[in-house]
Structure 1
Amino acid sequence: MKHLTITLIIILVWGKGFSQEISVESGLNFTSYRYNNSTGDSNENVKPDSGFYSRLGLGAFQLGSQKIGYGASFQQLNATGGDGYENYNWKTNYLGGFVQYQKLIYKNRIGAKLSLDFLHLVSGKQKIGGETFDLTNEKEMNGTWINPSVGVFANVINSNSLGLDIGYNFSYAFKAGGQGTESLSYASSQVYFRVHLKSPKNELDVHEHELPKYIIPDSVSNNQLALEQEIQNLKLEINVLQQPLNPLPENTVFFNLDSYKIDKDQYQKLETLANYLINNPTMIATLVGYADDTTGQTAYNQTLSNNRSKSVQEFLISMLVDPSQCIVKGEGETSQFNQKIYDSNRRVTIILTSKK
């Protein structure tokens, strides 16, 4: 356990230095052993037991249009049992890494996620009666394990600097290799909370060591010193105002007939918009959806326009845009953009404004 603690501390420090967002997901494993002996028989005396688990999120990488999180994983997969004569239990500690994809699916509050852990047994004990046995050399338990899981979560807090989720996962771990004459796998239910801390992004990156040092003679009075400092501050403000503004991203996303699915040829403009909003946290994007008025009923087209704007919103949030920067609005059917080329009216128009 000492080595495990040291390893987790090193990973935490390393990850904090290189990641814009760090997260900790912790909870309880309620694990059932799926065990069969050399003759294929199971042991009905083996009962589920609970243990601790934690995932330390260190960052994310881009896969297509989606962001995939990664980090370190720790899992306790325990069991207990007894045959009426003596009691026994298994206590195991697995350490490894994970990748994870998650997506908000309902009102920016409820989401689903898929995770894949790669685990290795770092310590394990089995107690039978009064004796204790080391499990790290047991072929059915050591080695590399693959632990996929699926889960749901609810977003409780989501601010610019802090997020809090609660959720449930179901996982099934199996060994990536031979286990000899016996076989073992783990089925676990997990309940957890997840805290993620977001590093603030500065609109202008100014370092103290880059600023000219202002030297005041000893003879200058306090009033003169205050005046000179005020002049220095005004110079800095002027420099900020003279910085060129970021070019505004393209403001229209087009859709196919009777569809609110975003085509891949629209991804680049939305990725550019997402980067713009992340780097300009005071900006708000109003996402106004439309449908053409040549097909479908008015009520249906109203729903279609709403869904188109929501699709753009979900895409931006998946790119880590703050949900408070995205306002959804459906305007229903229209022909105002082009009365002959109907495709021009199947759109979401993006209007950028500053927060008040």
Structure 2
Amino acid sequence: MKIKLLLLTCFLSFHWMTSQEFFFLSGKNLTSYDYSVSNTATDFNLKSKVGSNYELGYEHILNAKISYIGSLTLNQFNSFSTNEVRSYSWNSTYLGIQNAASYTILKTENEIEVKLKAGVNLSTIIDGTEQINGVLYNIKNEPEFSGVFFQPLIGLDIKYVITDYVSLSIGYNFSKAFKFSNSTDEKLSFINNQLQLGIHFPL
């Protein structure tokens, strides 16, 4: 009986380990700011600006189609604006925790896998600056930028198995980050298009 239990434990442990992988992703964000002030018209002509993104996490394969993905993220959400008098630029960096699920829609014989992904990211600002006509201001503690941002996302990932020990991927995610509560009349959200390249290490 003890031998059977030991064998079962070994099998389950092996199955658990072989159903996981660690990964690192990095890429670029193209972010648009959605900014408004209650009962006030704004003259900002906000434009998209490129920033970087990084993600470190693990994937647990639940079955042949569905996986759970948990990760730490670092995202830059940037924007700029100009008018006849002033030029503005915003650079903000957010640290987050992301939980997602993926569903395999295609897997070929030569180990190319296509997955749909949906999830939620919770993040907070760790660094931020506003530049007005060349003068820098710290925005880390500004109420419209600080606090916890809720960021639903959807995406598509394509992964190619190089060997049994490493895979490469490319992915696209679309998301909108916003806050449920804000103590001021100023409201800010980030509409983000994200491109990522990744390396994966199955266990």
Give TM class, smaller chain. Answer: 0.7 to 0.9
| Structure 2 equivalent of residue 57 of structure 1 | 57
Q: Is the 8 A contact 1:58 1:72 kept in 2?
A: no
Output the amino acid matched with 1:167: G
Alpha-carbon distance between aligned partners in 1 of 2:126 and 2:62, rounded to the nearest angstrom: 31
For the residue of structure 2 that corresponds to 1:160, the secondary structure is: coil
For the residue of structure 2 that corresponds to 1:53, the secondary structure is: strand
Alpha-carbon distance between aligned partners in 2 of 1:22 and 1:51, rounded to the nearest angstrom: 24
For the residue of structure 2 that corresponds to 1:175, the secondary structure is: coil
Q: 1:126 aligns with which of 122, 127, 130?
A: 130
Alpha-carbon distance between aligned partners in 1 of 2:25 and 2:141, rounded to the nearest angstrom: 30
Alpha-carbon distance between aligned partners in 2 of 1:45 and 1:124, rounded to the nearest angstrom: 20
Of the two, which has the highest radius of gyration? 1
Q: Is the 8 A contact 1:144 1:177 kept in 2?
A: no
| Structure 2 equivalent of residue 27 of structure 1 | 27
Q: How does 1:271-350 map to 2 (within 5 A)?
A: none
Alpha-carbon distance between aligned partners in 1 of 2:162 and 2:114, rounded to the nearest angstrom: 12
| Structure 2 equivalent of residue 79 of structure 1 | 79
Alpha-carbon distance between aligned partners in 2 of 1:116 and 1:173, rounded to the nearest angstrom: 10
For the residue of structure 2 that corresponds to 1:156, the secondary structure is: strand
Q: Structure 1, residues 72-100: CA drift from partner, whole Å, max 9, x if none?
A: 11110000111122211000010021112
Return the structure number with greater helix share.
1
Q: How does 1:178-327 map to 2 (within 5 A)?
A: 178-199=182-203
Relative to structure 1, is the Cα distance of residues 101 and 43 closer, same or farther in structure 2, using a 3 angstrom cutoff?
farther
Q: 1:175 aligns with which of 176, 179, 184?
A: 179
Alpha-carbon distance between aligned partners in 2 of 1:61 and 1:160, rounded to the nearest angstrom: 16
1:192 is displaced (CA, Å) by: 1.2
Pairwise CA RMSD of aligned residues? 2.3
1:145 is displaced (CA, Å) by: 0.5
Alpha-carbon distance between aligned partners in 1 of 2:43 and 2:170, rounded to the nearest angstrom: 34
Q: Is the 8 A contact 1:28 1:52 kept in 2?
A: yes
Q: How many residues align?
A: 180
Q: Is the 8 A contact 1:36 1:43 kept in 2?
A: no
Alpha-carbon distance between aligned partners in 2 of 1:78 and 1:62, rounded to the nearest angstrom: 36
Q: Is the 8 A contact 1:69 1:100 kept in 2?
A: yes
Relative to structure 1, is the Cα distance of residues 82 and 179 closer, same or farther in structure 2, using a 3 angstrom cutoff?
farther
Q: Does the alignment pair 1:160 with 2:164?
A: yes
Relative to structure 1, is the Cα distance of residues 61 and 162 closer, same or farther in structure 2, using a 3 angstrom cutoff?
closer
| Structure 1 equivalent of residue 69 of structure 2 | 69
Q: Does the alignment pair 1:117 with 2:92?
A: no
1:66 is displaced (CA, Å) by: 4.6
Relative to structure 1, is the Cα distance of residues 161 and 127 closer, same or farther in structure 2, using a 3 angstrom cutoff?
same
Relative to structure 1, is the Cα distance of residues 152 and 59 closer, same or farther in structure 2, using a 3 angstrom cutoff?
closer
| Structure 2 equivalent of residue 48 of structure 1 | 48
Alpha-carbon distance between aligned partners in 1 of 2:146 and 2:61, rounded to the nearest angstrom: 30
Alpha-carbon distance between aligned partners in 2 of 1:141 and 1:46, rounded to the nearest angstrom: 16
Q: Percent identity?
A: 28
Q: Is the 8 A contact 1:111 1:152 kept in 2?
A: yes
| Structure 2 equivalent of residue 12 of structure 1 | none
1:57 is displaced (CA, Å) by: 0.7
Relative to structure 1, is the Cα distance of residues 26 and 195 closer, same or farther in structure 2, using a 3 angstrom cutoff?
same
Q: Structure 1, residues 313-351: CA drift from partner, whole Å, max 9, x if none?
A: xxxxxxxxxxxxxxxxxxxxxxxxxxxxxxxxxxxxxxx
Q: Structure 1, residues 208-243: CA drift from partner, whole Å, max 9, x if none?
A: xxxxxxxxxxxxxxxxxxxxxxxxxxxxxxxxxxxx
1:24 is displaced (CA, Å) by: 0.9
Relative to structure 1, is the Cα distance of residues 179 and 40 closer, same or farther in structure 2, using a 3 angstrom cutoff?
farther
Q: Where does structure 1 lack aligned partners over 5 or more consecutive residues?
A: 1-18, 200-356
Relative to structure 1, is the Cα distance of residues 179 and 58 closer, same or farther in structure 2, using a 3 angstrom cutoff?
farther
Relative to structure 1, is the Cα distance of residues 145 and 165 closer, same or farther in structure 2, using a 3 angstrom cutoff?
same
Q: Structure 1, residues 74-130: CA drift from partner, whole Å, max 9, x if none?
A: 110000111122211000010021112112202343221113111010110001013
TM-score by length of 2: 0.80
Relative contact order (alpha carbons < 8 A, sep ≥ 6): 1 or 2 greater? Answer: 2
